[in-house]
Chains A and B, each alone.
Chain A
């Protein structure tokens, strides 16, 4: 048994190295290339685009939560004909290539598509960016929320009802607090996925630029060194957000 764990640990370490090596190498080399890094860090375009990206991802996440929470709850509580099919639909954005997702969105958002038929021009807008983010990241929220609701015993809701709570009150006072950690974790995953999206966004909106399209453009127009500096900054910011959320959502002692 000990030998098995040793071998498995070695294999696991290999994977960790594979993840960390490119990230650390990029960071270190970017910092050694201080001038370029400083220039990127001082550029207002970088910060504006990063802020816009974070904001768009927040909107996508809020939309996912507003529409995905009820859906996840229904899927968790109601066993109806075709439920598994519906669950499958929710996961479709995960399994299709993101460029394909973007092109598919284009058929709805473009002037030649459904939006155009309604006289709307939605491509190359902030709305399209958020829509693309939502499309690719919503499964992450719904899946985790679903798991969260399934983990709440339906009998707790029953008891709440017998104590005078309406269906909605039971949901708000019992189910929601008990599934909160799942919902939050789902939202974090959803947000992170939205921030990192590239292909689906670039298909529907090259402008307004988000961080991934910005890095792509810098890479093409100014080369590897400039792109690397932007990547290093994004890495640090992502890490900060990640750590902050970890700390904020850490279960408090005693309770739960």
Chain B
């Protein structure tokens, strides 16, 4: 991780994400390996001397202390004069919009409010790193959205080096400067959100980040970095360095545009197909075609095109949207 970076570790439940954070915070000692903070080996340093802020999924506020006592907990331990501690906690509560809750007992707060208190408590210590363990997972959808924006804003204004673990792709996509994908206890891929979501390193990552179209094919030819790939009954164009051999083609369903007439463009792929199923998912519809492709279109587009089962449509996507994985790169 770089200083000041917002780094997200994305992985399915049970991949070892919380344990990783607890290791960094020093709650456990690693069986092997070392932990470096600011370039110095911190493996043997006890948690209280690491100055690492920790926010748990269910907040872990001290139930016997008021909101402001929670925020000031670390400052008082450190022996900071009372007025100074109060000033700093007020400043942070102000920043997070929880000043009016100062005297309240944490148990009487909503999930979102508790999460803000937990954040203020961690930030009060001006930690070198802020560790966030699934900070939004226990919240309802709307609170998740507001807090996500809040986290983004906080990170912009404080520039705090942040390590956030989650299983939620949207969180990762919106917040991260860089993402590491953690699966079965090891990091499979590290990259920008764009790299992770458009160019997953293997099928497992692709599946986890929501790339629904995984097609098997063979590179027929490659002219100037654009390959012609035979996939079952049709051919498509993909931007890749792969010159030949068997490959997998990954296409995100939202990168596929459906139309009732074929669109002609040299850099685009256009595949004819018959709709086999249309599923409404809130604001978008998931459309499955008999050629094996899955597309996500807005509900409005689905209505305008009168998409329904058995209808003939054309699926169009850019050559850059087709990500090529050479064979032998899978689990």
List of B residues within 8 angstroms of A153 by Cβ: 60
Q: Evaluate contact between A164 and B125: CB separation under 8 angstroms.
A: yes
The verdict on A156 contacting B60 (CB below 8 Å), with A162-B54, A164-B125 known, is: yes
List of B residues within 8 angstroms of A160 by Cβ: 62, 73
List of A residues within 8 angstroms of B22 by Cβ: 158
A51 at the interface (CB under 8 A from B): no
A255 at the interface (CB under 8 A from B): yes
Q: How many A-B residue pairs have CB under 8 A?
A: 70
Q: Evaluate contact between A165 and B54: CB separation under 8 angstroms.
A: no
Chain B residue at smallest Cβ distance from A254: B105
List of B residues within 8 angstroms of A178 by Cβ: 62-64
B293 at the interface (CB under 8 A from A): no
Q: How far is the CA of A256 from the CA of B65 in the complex (A)?
A: 10
Q: Evaluate contact between B27 and A165: CB separation under 8 angstroms.
A: no
Q: How far is the CA of A174 from the CA of B73 in the complex (A)?
A: 10
**Most B Cβ at <10 Å: residue of A156, A160, A161, A174:** A161
A35 at the interface (CB under 8 A from B): no
A223 at the interface (CB under 8 A from B): no
Expressed in whole angstroms, the minimum distance between the Cβ of B263 and any Cβ of chain A is 55
B52 at the interface (CB under 8 A from A): yes
Pick the residue among B48, B78, B122 that contacts A161 (CB under 8 A). B48
A38 at the interface (CB under 8 A from B): no
Pick the residue among A163, A254, A256 that contacts B74 (CB under 8 A). A163
Q: Evaluate contact between B64 and A166: CB separation under 8 angstroms.
A: no
Q: Evaluate contact between A163 and B77: CB separation under 8 angstroms.
A: yes
B46 at the interface (CB under 8 A from A): yes
Chain A residue at smallest Cβ distance from B47: A161
Expressed in whole angstroms, the minimum distance between the Cβ of B317 and any Cβ of chain A is 46
B residues apposed to A, CB below 8 Å: 22, 25-27, 46-54, 56, 60, 62-64, 73-74, 77-78, 105, 121-122, 125, 127
Q: Would you mind naming 23 contact pairs between A and B with Cβ atoms under 8 Å apart?
A: A153-B60, A155-B56, A156-B60, A158-B22, A158-B25, A159-B54, A159-B62, A161-B25, A161-B46, A162-B25, A162-B48, A162-B52, A162-B54, A163-B73, A164-B51, A164-B78, A165-B48, A167-B46, A173-B77, A178-B62, A178-B64, A254-B105, A256-B64
Extra inter-chain contacts (16) besides given A158-B54, A164-B51, CB under 8 Å: A159-B54, A159-B56, A160-B62, A160-B73, A161-B27, A162-B25, A162-B26, A162-B50, A163-B73, A164-B77, A165-B77, A173-B77, A178-B62, A178-B63, A178-B64, A256-B64
A residues apposed to B, CB below 8 Å: 153, 155-156, 158-167, 169, 173-174, 177-178, 254-256
